[in-house]
């Protein structure tokens, strides 16, 4: 058939997701160990080929479900990697997604597609297949930038959180300590948080919980 005879001359399209969370003062990323030969022995971002008739977002969500990740993440398109040599086996163009989850947990089972999935500190990544190290770096850069001018932080925190948790996120990402009073005043002045019922307890004075007023992405000058 004609379509098939020249279709090998066209690049294929995949989606890959850079899955990030923030814990222990650092970004964590979720990686999988594919059974496919091309990436054997290395770790990779969850991903796979796009099917005809499917949107890119749907493909990304489908692949994330198949990767053993627990909860529905926040998703946004990151960048499309099209270097023909990024996969030595074939020309595969990959639409990378950024996926943010509130806490680095993983669902129970490995799948048919992967040997296993696991979280890694981004400062200590294993060997990554393809150009996935590049992808992860770009994903982190995107989040760092967006923390400064959007409410994207709400996708990296549990639904309610205390002020020190929010501050730890910003302080960790910026790599410098923030003045607690100035930070609180600034965030409060923007009116993007509202107090939530309950307190966070510990060996110390209980902390008021808060949640984001709106959880959909909006631009607000934070830093």
Partner DNA sequence: CCAAAAGTGTTGGCTCTACACCCATGA
Partner DNA sequence: TCATGGGTGTAGAGCCAACACTTTTGG
- Residue 3 touches which of DNA, a second copy, none (CB < 5 to 8 A by kind)? a second copy
Binding test (CB under 8 A) with a second copy, winner from 84, 195, 202, 206: 84
- Name the residues that contact DNA, by CB under 7 A: 162-164, 179-182, 184-186, 199-208
54 binds, options DNA, a second copy, none, Cβ within 5 to 8 A by partner type: a second copy
**Torsional sign, CA 131, 133, 134, 135:** positive
Q: Single out the residue of 25, 40, 70, 77 in contact with a second copy (rule: CB under 8 A).
A: 77
Residue 8 sits in the site that holds a second copy (CB under 8 A):
yes
CB 114, CB 43: distance < 8 Å = no
Three-class secondary structure of residue 163 per DSSP: helix
CB neighbour burial string for 180-206, b if at least 16 within 10 angstroms, e if fewer = eeebbeebeeeebbeeeeeeeeeeeee
Instruction: Please pick, from the candidates 49, 199, 213, 217, the single residue that binds a second copy as defined by CB under 8 A.
Output: 49
CA–CA separation, 149 and 93 (whole Å): 30
Q: What is the phi/psi pair of residue 111, to 5°?
A: -120, 180
**What does 101 interact with, of a second copy, DNA, none (CB < 5 to 8 A by kind)?**
none
Give me the residues that bind a second copy (CB under 8 A), please.
Answer: 1, 3-4, 7-13, 49-56, 59, 77, 79-80, 82-84, 91, 93, 95
């Amino acid at each position: 058939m004609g379509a098939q005879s020249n279709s090998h001359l066209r690049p294929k399209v995949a989606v890959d997701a850079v899955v990030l969370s923030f814990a222990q003062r650092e970004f964590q990323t979720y990686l999988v160990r594919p059974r496919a030969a091309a990436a054997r022995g290395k770790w990779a971002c969850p991903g796979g080929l796009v099917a005809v008739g499917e949107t890119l977002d749907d493909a990304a969500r489908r692949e994330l479900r198949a990767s053993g990740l627990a909860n529905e993440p926040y998703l946004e398109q990151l960048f499309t990697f099209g270097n023909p040599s990024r996969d030595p086996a074939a020309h595969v163009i990959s639409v990378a997604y950024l996926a943010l989850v509130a806490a680095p947990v993983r669902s129970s089972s490995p799948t048919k597609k992967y040997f296993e999935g696991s979280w890694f500190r981004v400062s200590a990544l294993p060997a990554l297949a393809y150009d996935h190290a590049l992808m992860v770096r770009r994903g982190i850069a995107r989040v760092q930038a967006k923390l400064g001018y959007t409410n994207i932080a709400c996708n990296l925190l549990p639904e309610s959180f205390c002020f020190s948790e929010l501050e730890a996120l910003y302080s960790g990402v910026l790599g410098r300590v923030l003045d607690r009073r100035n930070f609180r005043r600034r965030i409060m002045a923007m009116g993007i948080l509202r107090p939530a019922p309950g307190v966070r307890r510990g060996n110390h004075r209980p902390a008021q919980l808060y949640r984001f007023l709106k959880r959909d992405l909006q631009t607000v000058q934070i830093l």
